[in-house]
Amino acid sequence: MKRNILAMTAGALAACCLGTAASAQDCKPAHAFETVEKGFLTVSTTTYAPFSYVDKDGSVGGVDGDIVEAIAKLECLKVKAVATDPSAAIQYILTGRSDLSTGDWYRTAERAKVVGLSGPLYTDQMGIYSKDGYKSVKEIEGKSVGTVQGYLWVADLQKVLGAKLKLYPNSSGLSKDLEAGRLEVGVDGYASGAYARTEGGFKGLKIEVSAPDERVRATVKAAQAGLPYTKGNAALGKALDADIATLHKDGTIASILKKHKLDASAAEVGEPRLVE
């Protein structure tokens, strides 16, 4: 009797394994292209929550990570995350150690000179931080406003707000003055603020996506984020663009943004464009 049970168990396991193998073989990639390591998408993964980080189990996490996992599924590949500093991530691509990188990378003309840039994943929306929940540039005129140097909206805001706009070298200084009440309004990336709130930050403040204002170009045409990849791998680039288009069309990217507590409207990217 025991011998029969063992035989049945072995048979069931064999059938299960054969079924798994058959399932793997049945997967048909949407496109054909070469990768650094056969069967894998190797990703130089920066730490920039909520967009990119390496999870405790070693997988790629965040908004970009989830999008890459969805792409890999379409292409019958596994994702291999390689933790890197932002300064080294592009170098990994250039030296052939990774296929692409995650980390809310802006699609810029300068960056496009050295690496390929996938189609846009989402836009990096301008956020307005305040106790009163302001939602437009017009509402914050005449108020004490702070923002961080280097953002696309800085020059335009300086023209609109003049001396009322205070510049900070980083988001940390801005957030401290906001929380201490030394500023009435802060202007920073919406996504980073929304994520910080899930971690207990910005208590007592409301964070809103700015309404479009023609005077501030970034509120009308926000910077688009993409996936940098090996410039010489044209087949990979075409596959990424096609897969990203599919993930936009079926709502996957919007769902991923909502999963990470971000505004799904960031998935409405418009036509591909580069920041000059």
pLDDT above 90 covers what percent of the chain?
77
Q: At residue 78, does pLDDT exceed 70?
A: yes
In a domain, 12, yes or no: no
What does the pLDDT read at residue 20? 45
Average pLDDT taken over every residue of the chain: 90
Dihedral pair phi/psi, residue 166, rounded to 5°:
-110, 135
Both 228 and 119 in one domain: the answer is yes
Crossing angle of helices 252-259 and 234-249, in 10° steps, is 80
What does the pLDDT read at residue 196? 86
Both 206 and 244 in one domain: the answer is no
Residues 6+ apart with CB under 8 A from 188: 127, 129, 147, 148, 151, 171, 174, 175
Q: At residue 201, does pLDDT exceed 90?
A: no
What does the pLDDT read at residue 6? 40
Both 114 and 230 in one domain: the answer is yes
Instruction: Give the number of other Cβ atoms within 10 Å of residue 191's Cβ.
Output: 28
In a domain, 117, yes or no: yes
Report how far residue 235's alpha carbon sits from residue 32's, in angstroms, rounded to the nearest whole number: 7
Q: At residue 112, does pLDDT exceed 60?
A: yes
CA angle, residues 258, 54, 243, in degrees to nearest 5: 55
- Give the confidence band of 145 by pLDDT, cuts at 50, 70, 90: very high
Both 140 and 184 in one domain: the answer is yes
Both 153 and 204 in one domain: the answer is yes
Both 49 and 182 in one domain: the answer is no
In a domain, 112, yes or no: yes
The mean pLDDT value for 165-185 works out to 92
- Give the confidence band of 95 by pLDDT, cuts at 50, 70, 90: very high
Both 92 and 142 in one domain: the answer is no
Tokens 């403040």 belong to residue:
205
The mean pLDDT value for 107-136 works out to 96
Report how far residue 124's alpha carbon sits from residue 223's, in angstroms, rounded to the nearest whole number: 6
The answer to whether the CB of 77 falls within 8 A of the CB of 243 is no
Both 59 and 117 in one domain: the answer is yes
The CATH number of the domain where 70 resides is what? 3.40.190.10
What does the pLDDT read at residue 11? 52
Both 113 and 51 in one domain: the answer is yes
Expressed as residue numbers, the domain containing 112 is 40-123+224-267
In a domain, 55, yes or no: yes
Q: Minimal CA–CA distance to 47: which of 56, 35, 39? A: 56
Both 118 and 162 in one domain: the answer is no
User: 220, 237, 257 — which closes off a domain?
Assistant: 220
Report how far residue 186's alpha carbon sits from residue 188's, in angstroms, rounded to the nearest whole number: 6
- Give the confidence band of 37 by pLDDT, cuts at 50, 70, 90: very high
Both 119 and 228 in one domain: the answer is yes
User: 220, 237, 252 — which closes off a domain?
Assistant: 220
DSSP 59: -
How many domains does one find in the chain? 2
Report how far residue 216's alpha carbon sits from residue 236's, in angstroms, rounded to the nearest whole number: 35
What does the pLDDT read at residue 4? 46
Both 99 and 232 in one domain: the answer is yes
